[in-house]
Amino acid sequence: MGSSISAAEVRKFEEMAKNWWDPEGSSGPLHSMNPVRTKFTRDALCLCFGRDTMSAHPLQGLSILDVGCGGGLFSEALARLGASVTGIDASEGAIFVAREHARADPVIQGRTAYRNITAEQAVDKGLQFDAVVASEVIEHVENVPEFCRSLAALTRDSGAVVISTINRTAASYAVAIVGAEYLAQVVPKGTHDWSRFITPDELARLMGRVGLQQVSISGMFLNPVTGRWSLMNDTAVNYISYFRKNNTTPSQIEHI
């Protein structure tokens, strides 16, 4: 299978690897986003697999692939919910950071595994999981249709895929590029390319073509005063979507 990876994007995040676990550094927005993307994903997977969201470990027994896992922020959050998480990333530096951080907690280390491979390489190895997550990744890949095909191939039948990303709107340019990179400088300049952003409709169509139908979608909003994220109906800037493999139809889309 071909590669969807952008070498330039990999180099960019390789340089940021050492700051993955610094909430005050370049990965700060991901730290603050982690609770809401984790909540959405927990609820989506509980819906998909018939689990109780109020359970202490609602994802116990599920295998999850975290594509573009970076330093392991999302992987560790899902592991704390009981899942067995495999994190993959094209950045060798990020994988080193993820492994080292997991070693500090025996429970997390026992529930996580990290590999320096791409999604396409994982497909070539025949890997499949109950659920696949790709958070803040798809806007950085070179070949989006190829990436979507890989996500589908890595997901077991009736399994789930959760993607979070940034919409391509005037609002997202103002917030994610001008605001975050140039005014507030909460992320390094050049982190995002607005032309790479994908709209919810575009993503739903691409995923539908590979057998992944959208079940739910929610916007994600960062309060500039409190610095906290929340889920909302407005998807004009950040959004997160849950897809199910070979199970639902587009008419079933709802906001959660």
Quickly tell me which residue has 């001008």 as its tokens.
178
196 annotated to bind ligand: no
Annotated binding residue 14? no
Return the pLDDT at 19.
83
C-alpha distances in Å from residue 100, one per residue of 41, 48, 113:
25, 32, 11
pLDDT the model gives residue 7: 65
- The conformation of residue 198, written as its DSSP 8-state character, comes to -
pLDDT computed for residue 4 by the predictor: 64
> What is the full DSSP assignment across 210-256?
TTEEEEEEEEEEE-TTT--EEEES--SSEEEEEEEETS--GGG-EE-
What pLDDT does residue 32 have?
94
Residue 5 DSSP label: -
Q: Is 142 annotated as a binding residue?
A: no
**Strands in the chain per DSSP E:** 63-67, 84-88, 112-115, 129-135, 155-166, 212-222, 229-232, 238-245, 254-255
pLDDT at 14: 63
Known binding residue 139? Answer is yes
- Please, what are the domains in the chain? 7-245 (3.40.50.150)
The answer to whether the annotation marks 140 as part of a ligand binding site is yes
Q: Are 163 and 243 in contact (CB under 8 A)?
A: yes
3-class state of residue 138 by DSSP:
helix
Whether 68 and 134 have beta carbons less than 8 Å apart is answered as yes
Annotated binding residue 24:
no
Is 135 flagged in the annotation as binding? yes
Count CA within 13 A, CB hemisphere, residue 24. Answer: 0
Q: What is the pLDDT of residue 15?
A: 64
- Cα four-point dihedral sign 199, 203, 204, 206: positive
- pLDDT tens per residue across all 256 residues of the chain: 656 666 665 665 666 667 899 998 878 889 999 999 999 999 999 999 999 999 999 999 999 999 999 999 999 999 999 999 999 999 999 999 999 999 999 999 999 999 999 999 999 999 999 999 999 999 999 999 999 999 999 999 999 999 999 999 999 999 988 877 776 676 778 788 999 999 999 999 999 999 999 999 999 999 888 889 999 999 999 999 999 998 544 444 444 4
